[in-house]
Amino acid sequence: MILSLIQGSDEWLKVREQLVTATDFSSIAHRSKLIKYPYAKAKVETHIKNKITHTPQNLAMARGAEYEPIIMEKLLIDNPSLDNLIIQVNNNMASFDAVDIFSGIIREIKTSSTALDKIKLLIPGYVCQVIHQAYILYDELAQSISLKDLDCKIVLLQFYYDDEAGEEATRWHIINVNINDEKVVYNCNTLGIDDTMLDITIQLWRELCDDFYIELINYHNTLRSN
């Protein structure tokens, strides 16, 4: 179901405390050794604690919040039907930066000031966030659309210092994420990432999210009993 929430609002933060989000799934995939993701916390307890206490955002996240509307405006020129929606299916939640639920288009917006070689280390975590969104959309649409027909891309705006110009500049990167019943394949020409496979089926995603949800509820119960 579509939730009437605004991303970043207090109400949104409160709801996502109780559900498994795309950010959670990146850490889940890292812990399950499906990917390596520098942003993932070593201990699940630390991840859940930060999730519930709303650990303050870092500079990169603040910059992302500043530029996401600008990027969104650029995306709307190409597809005016895109919208930012929040969807909950069972115990899972996805906050879409830009989605067209009728045609299965998903655009995840990212910004980074990280060096090019280090950005590559972040991509698997970003891809897992899109996987989470794609599977939630698939279930929300009652599986009326084929997974392989979903059009998923990560739009990454990179900030870097241009030595020749002596000022900050930007680069655009588009990461294509192709999903089917057996595997996920992603690539990005500008980052030099050839087809890379992640073995994360929708069944595995459901199992991992269900397990994490149990841990999340147990943590909440522990807090209430103290």
CA distance 70 to 52: 29
Give yes or no for a contact between 54 and 13, defined as CB atoms under 8 angstroms apart: yes
Give yes or no for a contact between 22 and 129, defined as CB atoms under 8 angstroms apart: yes
| Measured CA distances, 175 to 101, 108, 113, 120, 155 (Å) | 20, 10, 17, 11, 7
Give yes or no for a contact between 208 and 29, defined as CB atoms under 8 angstroms apart: yes
DSSP-derived 3-state class of residue 98: strand
Question: What value does the mean pLDDT take over residues 75-103?
Answer: 90
Which of 35-44, 84-93, 99-108, 118-127 comes out lowest in average pLDDT? 35-44
The domains found in the chain, sorted by start residue, are 2-225 (3.90.320.10)
Give yes or no for a contact between 37 and 25, defined as CB atoms under 8 angstroms apart: no
The whole-number pLDDT of residue 122 equals 93
pLDDT tens for each residue of 9-60 = 889 988 998 999 999 999 999 999 999 887 776 566 777 777 777 665 555 6
Percent of the chain at pLDDT > 90 equals 54
CA distance 202 to 216: 21
* Model-wide pTM > 0.85: yes
| Closest of 183, 85, 97, 181 to residue 140, by C-alpha | 85
The whole-number pLDDT of residue 226 equals 65
| Closest of 223, 217, 219 to residue 19, by C-alpha | 217
